[in-house]
Structure 1
Amino acid sequence: MASITFGGDQVTLLGNEVKVGDKAPAFTVLANDLSEKALNDYKGVRLISVVPSLDTGVCDAQTRRFNEEASKLDGVTILTISADLPFAQKRWCGNAGLEHAITLSDHRNLSFGEAFGVAIKELRLLARAVFVVDSNDTITYVEYVSEATNHPNYEAALNAAKKAN
């Protein structure tokens, strides 16, 4: 399993660590309208940006950065997943001027978090991570950010999404 810290303290990740070359595991999350969504609801290349909470500075910056870059990536869908409530995600998107961003909530049962090995046991939040899944549902890029309050490697993730396209 990936080993991460949150604010300098070691935390326990639940679920299974995924690796490049693995088939993306199944999961169910909630959209802002409370409808259930799964990976196969989105086609083509998917860049999955995982954040602990949209209401924090690094998560806000990460979500903005990937969504701003999305306009330059034909055929790539950016999915932002957190354990925030769908209502909070919708409010954040409106306040951030990102009404078209796809934010998905794993709050209900941590299905995504456990499937991808990013559910933080002690906090019931998701660890910061980035995954790229190609159109065949194969994982082509994985980054578990070792300190949850740090930024991911944006350039590496965006380059991986371009190559997977």
Structure 2
Amino acid sequence: MKLKFQGKPVKVSGNTLKIGDTVPDFAVINNAMDTISLKDTKGVRIFLTVPSIDTPVCDLETRTFNEKTSEIPGVTVYTISMDLPFAQNRWCAANGIKNVITASDFKDRLFGKNFGTYMDDLGLLARAAFVADSTNKIIYVEYVPEVTNQPNFDAILAAAKKAK
């Protein structure tokens, strides 16, 4: 998979996922400094990876999903970045984020490696989106080719609406 960050190629580590794969396990840290793994999630889920939640593109993405997924009952959105949980918590409070769970992959980088989004040279996560159904099957995958661009909001939301 070839991704670029600000026009320059970046090396991405981990497993490239595809539709039909089972969601890999992971361990991330939430804003309360608790570990969340796959077993702690349920139902239809949107997993978003972003380089840093406190940048304009990532900010807009997370705020958009915060707004749009409130219209889809039963869908949980997780935004994962390498930002520390303290920074994520501050950002969420300042932006009124209620419908997105932010989590940090700073500790083990397991989410980035298991989902194929860890950018080795930058130590950040590439922008990607994954929709999982209630049986832990991946029904939508998008690795955004230019990390500084937005994902396809409409396609992600449509996949989440169709999921069971």
TM-score (norm 1): 0.97
Give the corresponding residue for 2:87: 88
What whole-Å deviation, never above 9, does each CA across 1:40-90 have from its counterpart, x for those lacking one?
212100011111101110000000011111111111101111111000100
Give the corresponding residue for 1:46: 45
Distance 2:56 2:119 in 1: 19
Unaligned residue ranges in structure 1 (runs of 5+): none
Give the corresponding residue for 1:10: 9
Give the corresponding residue for 2:162: 163
Distance 2:144 2:67 in 1: 21
Give the corresponding residue for 1:34: 33
Distance 1:69 1:42 in 2: 20
Which range moves more in the overlay, 119-128 or 39-48?
39-48
TM-score (norm 2): 0.97
Which range moves more in the overlay, 136-145 or 36-45?
36-45
Distance 1:130 1:22 in 2: 14
Q: Secondary structure at the match of 1:71?
A: helix
Give the corresponding residue for 1:138: 137
Which range moves more in the overlay, 34-43 or 81-90?
34-43
Q: Secondary structure at the match of 2:71?
A: coil
Unaligned residue ranges in structure 2 (runs of 5+): none
- Given that residues 80 and 105 in structure 2 are in contact (C-alpha distance below 8 angstroms), is that contact kept between their aligned partners in structure 1? yes
Are 2:81 and 1:73 equivalent residues in the alignment? no
- Given that residues 65 and 100 in structure 2 are in contact (C-alpha distance below 8 angstroms), is that contact kept between their aligned partners in structure 1? no
1:101 Cα offset (Å)? 2.9
What letter is aligned with 1:25?
P
Divergent runs of 4+, >4 A: none
Identity %: 51
Distance 2:151 2:126 in 1: 11
Give the total of aligned pairs: 164
What letter is aligned with 1:74?
P
Indicate the RMSD between aligned Cα atoms, in angstroms.
0.9
Give the corresponding residue for 2:117: 118
Give the corresponding residue for 1:25: 24
What letter is aligned with 1:24?
V
Distance 1:66 1:29 in 2: 20
What letter is aligned with 1:29?
V
What whole-Å deviation, never above 9, does each CA across 1:73-123 have from its counterpart, x for those lacking one?
111101111111000100100111115531010011110000000000001
